[in-house]
Amino acid sequence: MAIDIHWIRDDDSLGQFCAQWQQLPFVALDTEFMRVDTFYPIAGLIQIGDGERAYLIDPLTITHWQPLADLLENPAVVKVVHACSEDLEVLLRLTGSLPVPLFDTQLAAAYLNLGFSMGYSRLVSEVLGIDLPKGETRSDWLQRPLSDTQISYAAEDALHLAEVFVRLRPKLSDEKYAWVLEDGAELVANLRREVDPYEVYRDAKLAWKLSRAQLAVLRELCAWREREARARDLPRNRIVREHSLWPLARTQPDNLAALGKIEDMHPRTVRQDGTFLLDLIKQAASLPPEQWPPAVPEPLPIEAAALVKRLRALGQAEAERLNVAPELMLRKKTLEALLKSGYPEGPYQLPDSLRGWRRELMGQALLDSLATAGEQP
């Protein structure tokens, strides 16, 4: 089947087509990008599908993105995407805006119990009976001209994504459709919540094993690494490797030779930033106790696994009742955060990560289950 492809390579054309798309009930949206040696993704192509044609927007020749930003922010036009976390980063970087409302076909498939975390090719095969060609996902999207196979691959994505939406939407009850949009809004909200560099240390590997004085050093190291990765537009591991952070905070080297012996420490880091890192560690280590961060909670003990299993079973039962993929219900991190709030004796508090319809449907049941856990024979 020949695809009707329209290229958009200048600002005027983008403005004209965005004005047309503003009148549609939905547009399908996809991006191709490169992210090999950079912190931020570099847009190589933006694809729009309206259900009939595929539009390929060349970000290397467009300079004025406001019309696309306006389309993304128009609440009357549903933006259809698939597994979109990195696409959202591309769009935010390019236009300064994020799509609302957002309909993720991967989430919709899970709400229809077709499968959880389905890849795009599998979903298209399942819903449309079409086998998509593979092999272009890793190609160079910044090269010009793009190859015929790249163009065909990108156009098919946009065209079929619109078709998948048209097939899936009527199968979703109004309630489930609202949940798909709610989860889409959560994805957007998460990206809008820019990570505070001074909070990054909490997620560092083995942070719970450090004293509060050592955590003060880890906090400064993680914050500096995060800021520098953004400022230099480099992957975090090109600044300081992940596995070096904990031994740096624990041993606190005070000379370049000791720094170079830190586990997984790259010689380039020692050359470029070694002296600065030594000063940073020294300053952080001299902070008074009142400026130390609170201790990071230990992981849950092995015995808590039975409680996690008990709570997960609640979610699975609810998933069965709703006929949705069970993985949609309760994330492991959410259950662990709930248990950490009061383990082992309670009382427990629902974590902030349990939001929206999940909190309404299951919040009290989770608390009730924990309250009676100790009474089980």
| Residues with catalytic function | 30, 32, 87, 153, 157
Instruction: Using CB atoms within 10 Å of the CB of residue 12, give its burial: 0 to 12 exposed, 13 to 18 middle, 19+ buried.
Output: exposed
In sequence order, the 6+-apart residues with CB closer than 8 A to the CB of 110 are 116, 117, 118, 324, 325, 327, 328
Name the E strands within the chain: 5-8, 26-34, 42-49, 54-57, 78-81, 102-104
Q: What's the CA gap between 210 and 202, in Å, rounded?
A: 11
Q: What's the CA gap between 350 and 363, in Å, rounded?
A: 7
Nearest to 267 by CA among 276, 256, 280: 256
- Quote the radius of gyration of the chain (alpha carbons, Å): 24
311: helix, strand or coil: helix
78-81 and 26-34: which strand pairing? parallel
Q: Give Cα separations from 101 to 182, 191, 206 (angstroms).
A: 9, 14, 38
φ and ψ at 119, to 5 degrees? -70, 160
φ and ψ at 255, to 5 degrees? -150, 160
Q: What's the CA gap between 54 and 307, in Å, rounded?
A: 50
Joined together, the tokens standing for residue 191 give 């990206």
106 with 118: CB under 8 angstroms? Answer: yes
Joined together, the tokens standing for residue 4 give 């009707």
Residue 18: count other Cβ atoms within 10 Å of its Cβ.
Answer: 22
Q: At what angle do helices 356-371 and 174-192 cross, to 10 degrees?
A: 90
Q: What is the DSSP letter of 46?
A: E
